[in-house]
Structure 1
Amino acid sequence: LSENEFKDRFNLSVYGKGKIPSAGDTLLSKGEIKKLVGKRNPGDFDFRSHFSRQGKYGRLFIDKKHDSIILKGKLPFFIRWIRSSRDFVRNSVNNATDSKTAGLLTALLLGDKSSIDEDLKRDFANTGVIHVLAVSGLHVGYILIILTIFTSIIRIPWGWNRVVIILGLIAFCALTGGKPSVIRAAIMAGLYVFTPIVNRPGNIWNIIGFAGCLLLSYDPLYIKDLGFILSFSAVISIIYFYGLFEKLLPESINPKYIQNAFIKYTLSLFLVSLSAQIGTLPITAAYFHKIPIISLIANVMIVPIVGIIVVIGFMILGLSFSPFFSELAGNVAWLLQTIISWLAKFFSSFSFSSIPVAQIEFIDVALYGLIILGLFLIFQKESRGKGLIAFLFIANVMIWGNAPKPVTNILFMDVGQGDAALIKFSNGKTMLVDAGNRNRREDWGGRVVIPVLNHLGIQKLDWTVMSHPHADHIGGLVSVVEEFPTDTLLDTYSGYGSWTYNHLIERYTALPTIIKKPKTGEILEITPMESIHFLAPDSIFSVSQRNVNNASIVFKLIVGDNSFLFTGDLEHEGDDALIQFGDHLQVDVLKIGHHGSITSTREKLLTIIDPELAVVSVGEGNKFSHPSPVVMERLEDHQIEIHRTDYSGALWLQSDGNSYWKKSWK
């Protein structure tokens, strides 16, 4: 790597026992710098892009063979004040209430979501109110109100009170880590507070533009930051559409004309939530592959309670000198946390709380914007006819443009040293073949398989295949089974038992899932063009094998004139058993058995199969040295194209029955 690539910042990860450097220290050591990994699978989190937006371009791995020297340093006073203030907030809320409430308060006051209860986070996400856990304009608004009341109580003179408010907003930005969404809201609030001092009326659009320019002049990479994008999209959408609603809605349901304070506030909050969702919907759909449906109602009920919790949180900080009163405030916070947790769980329990969506393209976002424009033109009397025509035209383009095409999708995922593949048939039915490993360090099911399924808009699986009971193939299913129901589980014949295998069988048995063991020669007809032919294992042969790899489910996927062979972890003995099928083994694409080990893919079997393309699912730098150079050379001798997941990530193939091709997904 060139020196220029690392002229800014990079991640430093230190593994092993010993002293951990503190902020401000200098670390002297030797290590290997590696580039950050980009997307390896469709729907994958792009670490390279994410960290590059923060000016971080690599990771430095320090070899434990080399001694590391830590030179103690001292941080600037302001940084030390921020760190001690954050510690004070954490300690105060932890002493005043239980861990679940303290985790919520830490997120609301500091923007630190590391301690939030995972169930609460998931329910908030499914309900569409996850934004309240990210410190943003909502929280800056609460701070502005608190500071305004505070300066009024202690009678700070007019003008100076606004200076105090602005300084308080700056301190809050520093305390919460200087996130773009917080800075945007603080700049807008600060300008709103400041303009009366200089006798200038504040123009909201000028304020938004100034805030955006100021942030981008400080760091142009903010333009790619999700928080920046969502924050500005939401506030622009609220300002524009809320004003439009006030113009278009009849007086009976228009908060501008309603006198009852409760109804006025509730309806206003609903319209603010709706306005924000209009502007952020394509962004949240593209990033999170979900469209929140029930969030409009959930926001009306949860957001006000969150506001009260924020106020209670500051009361806990102010009362920290008195354990009795701080714990009393903590109990109130616990009660409110319990209420919003129940509400979030209640709303997320509805099957329609959110709609999963597949990959969002730029054209989808553009058409969405045009549809919104068309709808509002319809509500304008002078342009109603044009708006209706425009709306119908765009809706027609979207419907026909997204009409399902009769193709079969075969996706070989990159799950490190393991196997996982997904087949999506032309009729929409799905088959998951294995799901990678799961251990204390890595969960490939949660990290890769679930995001892939979400990315493709899949809500349930029709078939799940456990090729054989080894953890590097079925471990990831431990996470998948909790998120995606499956109609039929296909299991192999084997006397092998492990915690992972036994747990999965127990879990699937408890669910309305049919568990089957396919027989050799059995055919599963999907459509007239698509079918699965099971070639192994034979029940007697597989049980007799000491090596459970040879009990792998082997099947041939036929799509019209195209065919694909999945061989699990088959080794030599299993290869020999397959040879009996002769020419029926000939396929276009072969998933190499056992990660390309020396004990797989014999010359005789490869000659019979005669594939054009071979897929090797293998982990980079794995301890088994897979794939074997001998097997790779054998494939090259047969002039077979090779796709290795450790080199190239996932492989997405599509077939219409006449030909197959690679689909670009990066």
Structure 2
Amino acid sequence: MKIFKRLLPSSHIHLYAIGLGLAWLAYRHWWAWIPLLLYAYWMRKQRISKSIWVMMILFYGWTWYVFEQPIPTPNPQGIIVQQEDVKAGYRYTVQYGLYRYHLYTPEVLNIGSIISVEGDFKTFETDRFEGAFSPKDYYRSKWVTHVIYQPKIIQQHQIWIPHQIHQDLKQHIGQLPTYTQVFVSSLVLGIFESDMKARISKIGITHLFVLSGLHVTVLMGILNRCLWFLPKKIKLGLETVLLFTYLWVTLFPISLIRAVIQTLLFEWLNHDKIRYTRLDAFSFTWVLMLIINPYYLSNTSFQLTFLVSFLFIISNFKTDALGMMVSTFSAQTLVLPITSKITNQVYPLAFLVAPWFIPVFSYVLLPLSWLALWDKLGMILNPVFELVLNTIGFLEAGAFYFTIPVLSGIFALFYWILWGMASIGPYKIKKAYRMTYVVLFLVLIPQLKYLNPIGKVTFLSVGQGDTTIIERPFRQCTVVIDAFGDVMDYLYLQHIQTIDYLIITHGDFDHHRETEPILNSFQVKQLVLSKYDEGDFEASMRKYHPLYVKQGDKLPCGDIELNILSPIHKSNDDNENSIVIQTKIRDTTYLFMGDLGVSGETTLVNQNQELSSDILKVGHHGSITSSHISFLTRVNPKIAIISAGVDNHFGHPHPAVVDRLKQRGIDVYQTNVVQTITFIDLPFYKRHIILVHKKG
């Protein structure tokens, strides 16, 4: 501990923490170089600026090494450390060395079983477009690198491991009464799975059901009172052992790791004399966790727990009712850039209700949840927990919400700058006045697109499916062709509120899955369906009064016109009923083929249709049933786009189709290789710019 105090003087730890955090962000996001350069300018006169730069460069290199090194090949032999119920059986977490993989199987296995598997390990996908959720980053923050489905499993032998305590508690809690289960499972074990989850979020108390600093503070208070008779150092040592044991029992949730390390660091550093502040302990915890696993910063729980903790450390909120409301308002508005990606709705009721629940959880529900582990008390306390959930349901019933834009990238940076300006300072009237700028910023963000002179055609990476989005300058036209995958997330990130045409080329699930959610969440002026596409999907869409199109129809939209080349007549093959669209955007002609096959392509060629196009959206995901030679000769594209999922079981795109395209000198872009592909039209620049989300 003495060496630690010499290495990290208390007044400097937070400066290192800021630098390392900015170095991480600058590596992952271009917009983070703005605050990094401002930080560098501010630090130039600081006495320790050189050492901070050394630390930042070293950490930048460490981050690069961790993110760029190949994912380690999993060891087929490992030990089962966790079991979760899923729809098709169980998901087991298997530990091999430092890392883990997920195993899906209907077989019943035991925690602590040492197994060997035979099968195909798969890696998790990365984010498919800027700002999208990255399964790879999320699971790497949990040390999980691979997943394997239905392998051959050889059980060798079983040993006892501490994870068994978690599983035994989980099974015990599952036998408690229904309402007791909700509180004991979340407040004791850190598992928050309830039908009430969505309703609880509307009154802003979801964080109270998640193990965090609040729970550690209560536990430390209880331990201090119970161990009052022990010398301070011995008591602190015993508390450390108990808290780390609790971390193990709960399987190390990130928010609890932060809270435990931060609390114990502060206590140990100041057990004899106060020399370090809570900000120092916070900063060192931040640095330590990022060095251990840089992927932590990609985890939403990590972001939320550190942001809220930082706010309460630097602020001096009063403990009365008004102070609790102010603190709740500050915390919930601070984390908006993060929570807006989860839900773009804000419930004003949360600012009024949440403060009153904090003491109830801290001093009543949390202790009662621990006592309710005893099944007899759990039965007695069930009506109490039921009353709390019924109260939450009653409050939620009258909740209304405001829709806010998704804040990511540079928009999040500007929001936090404005939030900081509004929150810093002693004058309440000025703070309230400045907060109106924050509200105005949220209102204006979606309107900025009306001033945007840049047009885009985005071939969205949605896995084994199709989605294309056309955006014209100044929001004069927005077209969505097919709706699958994370299309709604992309629309929210781009602050798209109105869609002129939602065109579903045909009724296959991989083209229409998100249709109804889009219709219910966005202002869609016109749903467009194929005239000859009949089936369950088409029948379900009749209530939205779709426009049915066939060959020869034209859809005007802003400065472009969508020409419908197909369908021509009804076919027994649903793919041949696909809508085929050709449109000219400035000097570039695009041809979107849907899932049209060779038969439909041949008909178009025989009709002497004007098919010549610069950009070809290849039909049927690059299947061998499409893109025959005579068709490609007539279209003569410069670029071909293929939308397919990574390692899809259809084998799309077919190698013969890719070779056929490349032999004709056509540049081929595949979403299963480079993810989302975007063609950008800049004003005063005749050629388009092609951006891909990943290197391929």
Structure 1-normalised TM-score? 0.77
Q: 1:337/1:300 Cα in 2 relative to 1: closer, same or farther (>3 Å)?
A: same
The CA deviation at 1:590 is 1.2
1:621-636 → structure 2 map (5 Å cutoff)? 621-636=647-662
Query: Is 2:467 the partner of 1:420?
Result: yes
CA contact (8 A) 2:183 2:369 kept: no
Name 1:25's counterpart in structure 2.
113
CA contact (8 A) 2:561 2:584 kept: yes
CA contact (8 A) 1:413 1:649 kept: yes
Q: Residue 585 of structure 1: SS of its match in structure 2?
A: coil
Query: Is 2:574 the partner of 1:548?
Result: yes
CA distance in 1, matches of 2:601, 2:460: 24
The CA deviation at 1:530 is 2.2
Q: Deviations 1:41-71 (Å, cap 9, x if unpaired)?
A: 444321222233344433456754xxx4211
Name 2:125's counterpart in structure 1.
37
Query: Is 2:318 the partner of 1:271?
Result: no
CA RMSD of aligned residues (A): 4.0
Selected match of 1:537 from 564, 567, 580: 567
Name 1:453's counterpart in structure 2.
491
Which shifted more, 402-411 or 642-651?
402-411
Q: Residue 231 of structure 1: SS of its match in structure 2?
A: helix
Query: Is 2:206 the partner of 1:139?
Result: no
CA contact (8 A) 2:102 2:144 kept: no
CA distance in 1, matches of 2:651, 2:265: 61
Query: Is 2:255 the partner of 1:181?
Result: yes
Name 2:156's counterpart in structure 1.
71
1:94-243 → structure 2 map (5 Å cutoff)? 94-98=175-179, 102-103=181-182, 105-113=184-192, 115-117=193-195, 120-125=196-201, 129-147=205-223, 151=226, 159=232, 168-190=242-264, 198=272, 200=274, 203-212=277-286, 215=289, 222-240=296-314, 242-243=315-316
CA contact (8 A) 1:356 1:459 kept: no
Matched residue type, 1:661: I
Q: 1:599/1:180 Cα in 2 relative to 1: closer, same or farther (>3 Å)?
A: closer
Name 2:371's counterpart in structure 1.
315
In structure 2, the gaps of 5 or more residues are 1-68, 75-95
Structure 2-normalised TM-score? 0.74
CA distance in 2, matches of 1:220, 1:13: 21
CA contact (8 A) 1:25 1:72 kept: yes
CA distance in 2, matches of 1:38, 1:357: 20
Q: 1:414/1:5 Cα in 2 relative to 1: closer, same or farther (>3 Å)?
A: same
The CA deviation at 1:336 is 0.7
Percent sequence identity is: 22
Q: 1:39/1:217 Cα in 2 relative to 1: closer, same or farther (>3 Å)?
A: closer
Q: Residue 549 of structure 1: SS of its match in structure 2?
A: helix
Which shifted more, 649-658 or 220-229?
220-229
Matched residue type, 1:643: Y
CA distance in 2, matches of 1:470, 1:461: 21
Q: 1:223/1:472 Cα in 2 relative to 1: closer, same or farther (>3 Å)?
A: closer
1:249-260 → structure 2 map (5 Å cutoff)? 255=318
Name 2:60's counterpart in structure 1.
none
Query: Is 2:687 the partner of 1:659?
Result: yes
In structure 1, the gaps of 5 or more residues are 247-254, 256-263, 437-443
1:492-641 → structure 2 map (5 Å cutoff)? 492-494=530-532, 496-498=534-536, 501=537, 505-506=539-540, 508-510=541-543, 513-527=544-558, 529-538=559-568, 541-542=569-570, 545-579=571-605, 582=608, 584-641=610-667
Q: Deviations 1:110-147 (Å, cap 9, x if unpaired)?
A: 1113x322xx3334556654433332112323434554
CA contact (8 A) 2:105 2:151 kept: no
Matched residue type, 1:469: G
The CA deviation at 1:195 is 7.7
Q: Residue 12 of structure 1: SS of its match in structure 2?
A: strand
Higher relative contact order (CA 8 A, sep 6+): 1
Q: Residue 160 of structure 2: SS of its match in structure 1?
A: coil
CA contact (8 A) 1:492 1:518 kept: yes
Work out the number of aligned pairs and report it.
592
Name 1:439's counterpart in structure 2.
none
1:7-26 → structure 2 map (5 Å cutoff)? 8-15=97-104, 18=107, 20=109, 22-26=110-114
CA distance in 2, matches of 1:642, 1:265: 64
The CA deviation at 1:273 is 1.8
